[in-house]
Copies of this chain bind each other. A is one copy, B any other.
Amino acid sequence: MEDEPIMDVAHLGHVEILTPKPDESLRFFVDVLGMTESGRQGDSVFLRGWDDYERYSLKLTASHTSGLGHAAFRARSQQALERRVAALKASGAAVGWHAGELGHGPAFQFHDPDGHLLELYYETEWYQAPPDLRPALKNQAQRFPARGVNVRRIDHFNCLAVDIRANREFFERVLGFRLTEQIVLDSGVEAGMWLTCTNKSYDFAYTREAHGVGGRFHHVTFALDSREEILRAADIFLENGVHIETGPHKHAVQQTFFLSVYEPGGNRVEVANAGARLVLAPDWKPIRWTEAERKKGQAWGLQTIESFHNHGTPPLTEAQRGHKA
């Protein structure tokens, strides 16, 4: 009889991204993406989609550069949090407890093998909409804004990592994430991984960093309700002078219908929709994509744009750019 799955992480809570252009970035997230500001603290503004149940799903922090501040997962219970903290401590990845971030209780911070900062918390603040943002239907966190792209909730994030396999094993063994899809090169080297702790087919993905630089960020993705809304989002990005990198199109991997843009601070932001697709099987057999299959491009034949492999944040220095794995 196999070991039972670890079910201690409930879902992705929020992502902190750094921006060297905080005002323009804020206008992008509020006016173009349609997010709502729900708090400020220090150099950070906290933002939310209209159906995120927690106070926020994005922490936008002014910085000298771009990239990921941290990503945070919510544990399923206080006991579940404590079990994972014990496992993290045993793994050598632990940074330690961090208190005082707006909107949630004590968080245990740790580094993945690539050096990204992550945290796990349980106690959280449920969003309470002020009167002018109260929804008409009580099973919705906040009024639909009808402004810009109207992103609904955070969906997933994507980091770059030098050693995908090491990161995969860390998240599977220490935190109980399940691998749903991966890319494995002909050499056997893993080049991409999609992991979940929910019935979404992934809560985050790591793809391969080609320049040997740890800790870089690829994108954060917000969910919209339909592919039609993502097409309309493309119109809205165009009208607002936002750089559209690629899409709308359908990824072969995970079949996500995606649209990728760069926010003013340089970070890639994606809006996406996966229809009614869920991974319900508790023993899902990971899909392994080969090099030959990935060369076919996206689902309907769009070739993967070069910058999708190369653009990460923070940007590489000249010296780093010279290094090629």
Contacts and interface: CB of A to CB of B under 8 A. Distances in A.
B10 A7 contact: no
A276 interface: yes
Contacts of A276: 51, 152-153, 155, 223-225, 273-274
Interface string A1-31: 1101101001100000000000000000000
A280 to B, nearest CB: 4
A10 B199 CA distance: 10
A134 to B, nearest CB: 9
Contacts of A224: 276
B238 A136 contact: yes
Nearest to A154: B280
B2 A53 contact: no
Interface stretch (A62-70, A98-106, A138-146): A138-146
Interface stretch (A37-45, A207-215, A253-261): A253-261
A300 B238 contact: yes
- Within the oligomer, what is the number of copies of this chain? 4
Nearest to A243: B301
A135 to B, nearest CB: 7
Nearest to A138: B287
Interface size grouping (class) on chain A: 35 or more
Given A137-B299, A155-B276, A77 B5 contact: yes
A278 interface: yes
A228 interface: yes
20 contacts: A4-B76, A4-B79, A136-B239, A137-B252, A138-B289, A138-B293, A144-B239, A146-B148, A152-B275, A199-B278, A225-B276, A226-B227, A227-B231, A228-B229, A229-B232, A234-B250, A235-B250, A235-B300, A238-B299, A245-B301
Given A225-B275, A274-B276, 19 more contacts: A1-B78, A1-B79, A4-B79, A7-B7, A10-B282, A136-B239, A137-B252, A139-B181, A140-B255, A144-B239, A152-B275, A155-B276, A228-B228, A228-B229, A229-B232, A235-B250, A238-B299, A246-B301, A248-B248
